[in-house]
A and B are shown apart, each in its own frame.
Chain A
Amino acid sequence: MATVTVPKEEKTAVVTSPESTQKTVTLRIARINPPESTETKFEEFKVPVQKWTTVLESILYVKQNLDHSIAVRYSCRQASCGSCGMKINGKPRLACYTKISELESNVITIEPMNNFPIIRDLAVNFEQLFSTHKKMKPFIINEESEVNSDTKEFIQTPQDLEKFLQFSYCIKCGLCNSACPTMATDTSFIGPQGLAQAYRYTADNRDKGKKDRLKIVDQSHGIWRCHFAGSCSNVCPKGVDPAMAIQLLRGYLLGFGK
């Protein structure tokens, strides 16, 4: 490993070195390109950081200055598009939403998210998440869902809105699916992202698709494969709380929820 952790007493020695005016950290980035080799190698890069530097920025620093070939997905850089989920120091996080300083570590290990097939390096394949999302019928089911020239809105009070608003914070980043213990072994499990969206539309007072969706989630790799491990909600960057959504949805199936 390139970095040597300097014991406290020797700190002065570091300060005198010319580059030490700026803090640097070491990024250990997992490199793999499956068609060429199925082995993950870690490469280390030293990057300068400031108090606001995010992990995404430091990866892009590497891409722009040290190694152009790093494969990484990103777009909005403000935690609203859901592109940049990856495993940072062992936990799934959004790279653009994680500051280096929060990690309190001089070595930062960056790997692709678990439970998604790797395309290359840090970029993973989302097909399963997207197709499962689609299976949840994530839209308003209601014969009147198309408007004509004199339609007004469905009435929905702020209280009605609060029943599902939180679940529509979901940016489809997949962090929850990558943290869930069932997802770790069950390749057919719907997963917290999809289940939370099934609840989001079911809880909407404009929707009439509850029966359909309950039937979809009530299958052998459906909602019952959630054991309320809560890891999904633990990692969700947007406060969606999929664990809550799933239990509320299950409440319907067990006959508690109305």
Chain B
Amino acid sequence: MVNSIEKDLLIVGSGLAGLRAAIQAAKVAPHIKIAVISKLQVMRSHSVSAEGGTAAVLYPEDGDTIESHVYDTVKGSDFLGDQDVIEKLVSEMPSEVYQLEHWGMPWSRREDGRIGQRNFGGYSFPRATFAQDKVGFYEMQTLYDTCQKFDNIEFFNEWFVTSIIHDGQRFCGITAIEMSTGTFYTFKSKALIIATGGAGRVYSFSTYALASTPDGLDMAYRAGMALKDMEFVQFHPTGILPSGILITEGARGEGGYLLNNKGERFMKKYAPTKLELASRDVVSRAMITEINEGRGFKHDTGVDCLKLDLRHLGKELIIRKLPAIREISLKFSGVDPADEPIDVRPVCHYMMGGIHTNIDGATEIQGIWAAGEVACNSVHGANRLGANSTAECLVWGKITGEIAAKYVLESTSPPPFPLHLVANEEKRIYDGIFRGTGSVNPYEVRQELTEIMNNKAYVYRNETDLVEGLKLVRELRQKTWKHVDDKAKEYNTNFTNVMELDSMFRVAEVILMGAIWRKESRGAHARTDYPDRDDKNFLAHTLVYYDTKEPIIKTHPVTITKYKPVERKY
């Protein structure tokens, strides 16, 4: 008999979105039992790495407006963002910033004691609220610490969730493995919020935490929910070599140059007015063009790159204003940016797509919500603006937490629990993976898979590459890698790594299929064979559904309220 735990509300994932949801639910319903389940220790989630800021309109008296934030976001999304959703984000944000502040967030302050804001790419007002260059870290800390106030929030640290159980209409529960003991459990519950974050580790060169794999996306996908707009992957211009750790936009904001091997500031050619500070997709494309045309450098590891030069800023300014950048490059690349330019290259940084939800974060199955980077309520459309993602996590964490808690309070008795699905899942992971036979090293397979993604579905895409990539991914999946060498039960990360890899295959396939389907260039999706935006045929969201044979593609309309699509120029 499988061990079983019963709770009222489950929250899978403990990043910004998950923790914000937990607090809101606990506030709304102080007597329901809330479980936050995470494959990491709760406070170790990827969200701690967010650096730059969280966007919110705080100073109307200085000229900022809700409309301006909405329009910047709509334009940033290349008109694929749902405008009602964007309006919701923008109007909810100010009070979120104040709420965090009241819970102890150490926002950086202006001399008058009010909260500080800075400039960020794509905005027409400096509205990125910041706390030094560790915004995500402090937000996580504030939320984690605030959770300690509530005795009805229980943390399940290091529980790997493997599947979502429902009866076709209503949510019933999940299955999970307690990593410290290796025991398989079911959780029965009335409601679920999925907040498992982004999946950037499907690319080999990535700013994401090593744990940011698509297991959450895949769980929902396998359970029959659609993945939306997965072809839109944001590449940040400056990932440092060799690790891929992010060098924040602030480095260019302070006046850093991007140089090619001729020593030219090549951005002059691509964005004559904004130069290095054009939007992320534009700069990344320019960098790849330079590299493709032979004006890149070779890093010691053999990877092509360009140089980010900060030397002219002077050691003092670097120490004072970009301490984290200096620390990162000294520590992880052995280079002092005051003496030497940094080797950088566009790097996988964000997934605009995710589990298809409506404006309230509800998925297609009753009792299941999704929030944060794993969800796609279409707030970012085809390209996310910096500082809008932590904002999204907070707002939809709160919304889903509140709605799900109310749902729990009002809900009737649960449907009969489909035990056969648990048995199926047990078979899938234990017979299919844990006891699977094979000889290929799964870690090599993972490396190969992520490199295919990097090579075939990177900043620029075209039909040949994408189709080839899809073929390679499917071939690779046939290899006999599904086996786990480590046979111990306790803390078996070999096992969870292979499960993560398993989910990467399905999600990589979805990304590639969406990218093949979308024969246009929009936002982060740049097709060399279709260089223009095509509003006639592709002003729509992509939906991909799981099917045992081949994934099924559908579309979903974009909500446009005020702003008709126009040409996007910076």
Residues on A facing B (Cβ under 8 Å): 33-36, 50-52, 54, 63-65, 68-69, 71-83, 97, 99, 101, 119-121, 123, 125-126, 130, 133-134, 137-140, 142, 144-147, 149, 151-158, 160-161, 164-165, 168, 170-172, 201, 204, 206-207
Q: Tell me, rounded to whole Å, the shortest Cβ–Cβ distance linking A55 to chain B.
A: 12
**Digit string of B91-133 for contact with A (CB within 8 Å is 1, else 0)?**
0000101110111101111011111000000000000000000
Among the listed A52, A71, A139, A146, which residue makes an inter-chain contact with B491, where contact means beta carbons less than 8 Å apart? A71
Q: How far is the CA of A138 from the CA of B148 in the complex (A)?
A: 7
Q: How far is the CA of A72 from the CA of B99 in the complex (A)?
A: 36
Q: Tell me, rounded to whole Å, the shortest Cβ–Cβ distance linking B14 to chain A.
A: 12
- CB-defined A-B contacts under 8 Å, sample of 25: A68-B442, A69-B485, A71-B493, A72-B493, A75-B209, A76-B209, A76-B210, A80-B134, A80-B137, A81-B40, A82-B44, A133-B148, A138-B145, A139-B104, A139-B145, A139-B149, A146-B27, A147-B102, A157-B109, A157-B112, A157-B113, A158-B108, A160-B113, A201-B145, A207-B104
Tell me whether A137 and B331 are in contact in the complex, defined as CB-CB below 8 angstroms, given that A161-B106, A168-B138 are known contacts.
no
Check if B547 is an interface residue, CB within 8 A of chain A: no
Q: Note all chain A residues with C-beta closer than 8 A to B485.
A: 68-69
Q: Note all chain A residues with C-beta closer than 8 A to B104.
A: 139-140, 201, 204, 206-207
Decide if B95 touches A151 in the complex (CB within 8 Å): yes
Q: Note all chain A residues with C-beta closer than 8 A to B157.
A: 126, 130
Decide if B40 touches A75 in the complex (CB within 8 Å): yes
Scan residues 461-483 of chain B and give those whose CB is less than 8 A from a CB of chain A: none
Decide if A52 touches B493 in the complex (CB within 8 Å): no
Q: Note all chain A residues with C-beta closer than 8 A to B109.
A: 156-158, 160-161
Decide if A83 touches B44 in the complex (CB within 8 Å): yes
Q: Note all chain A residues with C-beta closer than 8 A to B334.
A: 51-52, 99, 101
10 shortest interchain CB distances as A-B pairs: A69-B486, A64-B443, A155-B113, A81-B44, A71-B491, A120-B491, A68-B485, A68-B494, A138-B145, A140-B104
Among the listed A50, A120, A134, A138, which residue makes an inter-chain contact with B300, where contact means beta carbons less than 8 Å apart? A50
> 17 extra interchain contacts, Cβ-Cβ under 8 A, other than A64-B441, A130-B155, A171-B48?
A33-B488, A52-B243, A52-B334, A63-B494, A68-B443, A69-B488, A71-B490, A78-B243, A82-B44, A119-B490, A145-B102, A147-B95, A152-B98, A158-B108, A161-B108, A170-B141, A172-B43
Q: Note all chain A residues with C-beta closer than 8 A to B99.
A: 146-147
Q: How far is the CA of A138 from the CA of B209 in the complex (A)?
A: 26
Decide if A78 touches B102 in the complex (CB within 8 Å): no
Q: How far is the CA of A158 from the CA of B110 in the complex (A)?
A: 7
Q: How far is the CA of A172 from the CA of B109 in the complex (A)?
A: 25
Most buried by A among B113, B146, B441, B494: B113
Check if B41 is an interface residue, CB within 8 A of chain A: yes
Among the listed B98, B146, B211, B493, which residue makes an inter-chain contact with A153, where contact means beta carbons less than 8 Å apart? B98
Scan residues 278-292 of chain B and give those whose CB is less than 8 A from a CB of chain A: none
Q: Note all chain A residues with C-beta closer than 8 A to B333.
A: 52
Among the listed A35, A69, A119, A152, which residue makes an inter-chain contact with B494, where contact means beta carbons less than 8 Å apart? A69
Decide if A140 touches B102 in the complex (CB within 8 Å): yes
Check if B30 is an interface residue, CB within 8 A of chain A: no
Chain A's closest residue to B335 (CB) is A52
Chain B's closest residue to A123 (CB) is B491
Check if B516 is an interface residue, CB within 8 A of chain A: no
Most buried by B among A72, A75, A99, A155: A75
Decide if A139 touches B113 in the complex (CB within 8 Å): no
Decide if B98 touches A75 in the complex (CB within 8 Å): no
Decide if A139 touches B44 in the complex (CB within 8 Å): no
Most buried by B among A36, A71, A146: A71
Chain A's closest residue to B95 (CB) is A147
Q: How far is the CA of A153 from the CA of B108 in the complex (A)?
A: 12
Decide if B106 touches A77 in the complex (CB within 8 Å): no
Tell me whether A168 and B141 are in contact in the complex, defined as CB-CB below 8 angstroms, given that A35-B490, A68-B443 are known contacts.
yes
Chain A's closest residue to B148 (CB) is A134
Among the listed A63, A75, A134, A153, which residue makes an inter-chain contact with B101, where contact means beta carbons less than 8 Å apart? A153
**Digit string of B192-215 for contact with A (CB within 8 Å is 1, else 0)?**
000000000000000001110000
Chain A's closest residue to B493 (CB) is A71
Chain B's closest residue to A201 (CB) is B104
Chain A's closest residue to B329 (CB) is A52
Q: How far is the CA of A138 from the CA of B95 in the complex (A)?
A: 22
Chain B's closest residue to A138 (CB) is B145
Q: Note all chain B residues with C-beta closer than 8 A to A170.
A: 141
Decide if B103 touches A120 in the complex (CB within 8 Å): no
The count of residues in chain B whose C-beta lies closer than 8 Å to any C-beta of chain A is 63
Tell me whether A119 and B491 are in contact in the complex, defined as CB-CB below 8 angstroms, given that A69-B486, A75-B209, A76-B46 are known contacts.
yes
Residues on B facing A (Cβ under 8 Å): 27, 40-41, 43-46, 48-49, 95, 97-99, 101-104, 106-109, 111-115, 134, 137-138, 141, 145-146, 148-149, 155, 157, 180, 209-211, 242-243, 245, 300, 328, 331-334, 441-444, 484-486, 488-494
Decide if A158 touches B148 in the complex (CB within 8 Å): no
Decide if B300 touches A156 in the complex (CB within 8 Å): no
Q: Tell me, rounded to whole Å, the shortest Cβ–Cβ distance linking A155 to chain B.
A: 4
Q: How far is the CA of A35 from the CA of B559 in the complex (A)?
A: 56
Decide if A77 touches B243 in the complex (CB within 8 Å): yes
Q: How far is the CA of A206 from the CA of B146 in the complex (A)?
A: 14
Q: Note all chain A residues with C-beta closer than 8 A to B441.
A: 64-65
Q: How far is the CA of A165 from the CA of B242 in the complex (A)?
A: 31
Decide if A75 touches B46 in the complex (CB within 8 Å): yes
Decide if B48 touches A155 in the complex (CB within 8 Å): no
Tell me whether A76 and B148 are in contact in the complex, defined as CB-CB below 8 angstroms, given that A120-B490, A154-B101 are known contacts.
no
Decide if A76 touches B48 in the complex (CB within 8 Å): yes
Q: Note all chain A residues with C-beta closer than 8 A to B243.
A: 52, 77-78
Among the listed B138, B300, B328, which residue makes an inter-chain contact with A78, where contact means beta carbons less than 8 Å apart? B328
Chain A's closest residue to B114 (CB) is A153
Chain B's closest residue to A150 (CB) is B95
Decide if B486 touches A68 in the complex (CB within 8 Å): yes
Decide if A52 touches B332 in the complex (CB within 8 Å): yes
Q: Note all chain A residues with C-beta closer than 8 A to B95.
A: 147, 149, 151
Decide if A139 touches B103 in the complex (CB within 8 Å): yes
Decide if B46 touches A147 in the complex (CB within 8 Å): no
Q: Note all chain A residues with C-beta closer than 8 A to B149.
A: 139
Decide if B180 touches A125 in the complex (CB within 8 Å): yes
Q: Tell me, rounded to whole Å, the shortest Cβ–Cβ distance linking B218 to chain A.
A: 19
Q: How far is the CA of A33 from the CA of B180 in the complex (A)?
A: 11
Among the listed B114, B180, B484, which residue makes an inter-chain contact with A119, where contact means beta carbons less than 8 Å apart? B180
Q: Note all chain B residues with C-beta closer than 8 A to A63.
A: 443, 493-494
Q: Note all chain B residues with C-beta closer than 8 A to A158.
A: 108-109, 111
Most buried by B among A63, A145, A153: A153
Q: How far is the CA of A38 from the CA of B269 in the complex (A)?
A: 65
Chain B's closest residue to A56 (CB) is B210
Q: How far is the CA of A120 from the CA of B40 in the complex (A)?
A: 16
Q: Tell me, rounded to whole Å, the shortest Cβ–Cβ distance linking A164 to chain B.
A: 7
Q: Note all chain B residues with C-beta closer than 8 A to A54.
A: 332
Q: Tell me, rounded to whole Å, the shortest Cβ–Cβ distance linking B333 to chain A.
A: 5
Q: Note all chain A residues with C-beta closer than 8 A to B43.
A: 81-82, 172
Q: Note all chain B residues with C-beta closer than 8 A to A99.
A: 331, 334
Among the listed B48, B98, B113, which residue makes an inter-chain contact with A81, where contact means beta carbons less than 8 Å apart? B48
Q: Note all chain A residues with C-beta closer than 8 A to B145.
A: 138-139, 201
Q: Tell me, rounded to whole Å, the shortest Cβ–Cβ distance linking B62 to chain A.
A: 14
Q: Tell me, rounded to whole Å, the shortest Cβ–Cβ distance linking A62 to chain B.
A: 11
